[in-house]
Structure 1
Amino acid sequence: MSMTLTVVGCGDAFGSGGRLHTCFHLDSGSSRVFVDFGATSLYGLNRLGFDTCAVDAVVLSHLHGDHFGGLPFLLLHSQFVACRDRPLVIAGPPGVEARVRAAQEVMYPGSSRNELGFDLIFRDLPVGGRTEVAGFGVETFEVSHPSGAPALALRLSGGGRTFAYSGDTGWTETLIDVARGTDLFVCESYAFEKPIPNHVEYVDIRAALGRIASGRIMLTHLGPEALARRGEFEPSILVAEDGMVIEV
């Protein structure tokens, strides 16, 4: 029983530190999903030699371009390069299908009407509820990050392990609930201590360490200030790096 996390990309929207946009790959042994799929994700996957056709679903935390903007590229790649022939599920906040279709049309007009050669299935995740996506149990928590649809923190369970992810959000006590009882909690920390609207600051995480009941904590989505001060992070806290592979 296991779950493997590959960090395809862990950067902020601006590629600070040369990091790619957010994309995590989870493999439970029997199922594989991407968690978020930012605009640079396909580049990262090709660099790592991933077979995108082996992935069953994409689970999205929220609908900003650095978290879902790579999907128009993935769908075209699946059709014309990888020749995918098995279903793909895209699950995300309510309205996910309309937003992805709109992105396809802006970037490649007419592409949202392509005959893909495989079933593309969109699913709205229940806000504050539980469901199953491609063999993973998925639990959602609404957080604070305006993005045109509810922004979600996520818990994904599979292979006897549980992965938690804050998505993008300002600090909220909801994150304590998201992390509770999980094996790994991946939390955004765009800033170190400089207040940035709708994003977590590291000092908030540090103040809550005694209450974050997860086996391990990993920071992601670091902006310039957080990157410059990463030497001040608690030694027990992991820092995501593009290409990192760990057992959850």
Structure 2
Amino acid sequence: MKNVSVKFLGSGDAFGSGGRFQMCIFVDSEEISFLLDCGASSLIAMKRFGVSPSDVEAILITHLHGDHFGGIPFFILDSQLISRRTKPLIIAGPPGIEDRIHRAMEVLFPGLSQVKQRFRIEVTELPEGVPTKLGELLVTPELVTHASGAPAYALRVQLAGKTIVYSGDTEWTDRLVKVADGADLFICEAYFYDKRIKFHLDYQT
């Protein structure tokens, strides 16, 4: 993909299976750099693999489970106190994401959500099926099948003349065919090789 690189910082599950970091994909281009999901271990993974939080301009979240969005409070804390970020940070995800982030921050670091940030945080709740412009990104969420207390999305992301689609967590749904149509890269979860469980895909499917 010309001018766009994709690095898997984490591809693990909520249980740390295989010692892998939780879900976090770093997409880097000349126009914008962003994360697809930000699981609880993502800040550690970023530092392990040499990705600076200051280089991340946006975080796109597929659904509101901790292994996919739980790293955001740590990312914000690092940005405020260590990386000393000054440029805005875009965070986007399903309806309810702003409240969930606020509550997670208060549980993990009481008072952090009330501290005046040295940088602006722009939180966008993505409506299903509606293309949304986020900086240099055009993001279209497609509803998938995964119980998370809020809508779960596959994300179709257009940037630099390319299209990346990421399934997030889901069991099989024909919506995946729709959202992935014509993509330059389709990233699809596979929780097991051949064992089928509810709300997830397996490799053979």
Q: Same fold (TM over 0.5)?
A: yes
| 1:193 positional shift | 2.2
Query: TM-score, structure 2 length as denominator?
Result: 0.96
What pairs up with 1:145-184 in 2 under 5 angstroms? 145-184=146-185
1:138 aligns with 139
5 Å matches for 1:1-248? 1-204=2-205
Structure 1 residue identity aligned to 2:102:
R
Q: Is the 1:2–1:160 contact (alpha carbons within 8 Å) kept by the matching residues of 2? A: no
Structure number, greater radius of gyration? 1
CA contact 1:95–1:124 (8 Å) conserved in 2: yes
Alpha-carbon distance in 2 for matches of 1:133, 1:25: 16
Q: For residues 177 and 134 of structure 1, what CA distance do their matches in structure 2 show?
A: 24
SS of 2:204 mapped into structure 1: helix
Q: Deviations over 1:167-199 (max 9, x none)?
A: 001111111112211111111110222221100
Q: Which is bigger in relative contact order (C-alpha 8 A, separation at least 6)?
A: 1
Runs of 4+ in 1 over 6 A off after TM superposition: none
Residues 169, 200 of structure 1: 8 Å contact kept: yes
CA positional deviation for 1:22: 0.4
Contact in 2 for aligned 1:94/1:149 (Cα 8 Å): yes
Tell me the distance in 2 between the aligned counterparts of 1:52 and 1:126. 27
RMSD over equivalenced CA pairs, Å: 1.0
Q: TM-score by structure 1 length?
A: 0.80
1:191 aligned partner, one-letter code = F
Equivalent-residue separation in structure 1 for 2:37 and 2:174 (angstroms): 23
User: CA-to-partner distance for each residue in 1:110-137, whole Å, 9 max, x for gaps?
Assistant: 1111111111111001111111122111
- The percent identity for this pair of structures is 45
Per-residue CA shift, 1:76-134, capped at 9, x if unaligned?
Answer: 00000000011101101011100000100111111111111111111001111111122
In 2: Cα distance, 1:41 partner to 1:134 partner = 22
Letter in 2 for 1:167: G
Q: Distance in 2 between matches of 1:54 and 1:201?
A: 33
8 Å contact from structure 1 (residues 33, 134) kept in 2? no
CA contact (8 A) 1:2 1:161 kept: no
Cα shift at 1:159: 1.5
Q: Could you tell me how far apart the structure 2 residues matched to 1:160 and 1:82 are?
A: 31
The count of residues paired between Structure 1 and Structure 2 equals 204
**Partners in 1 of 2:57 and 2:24 — Cα distance?**
15
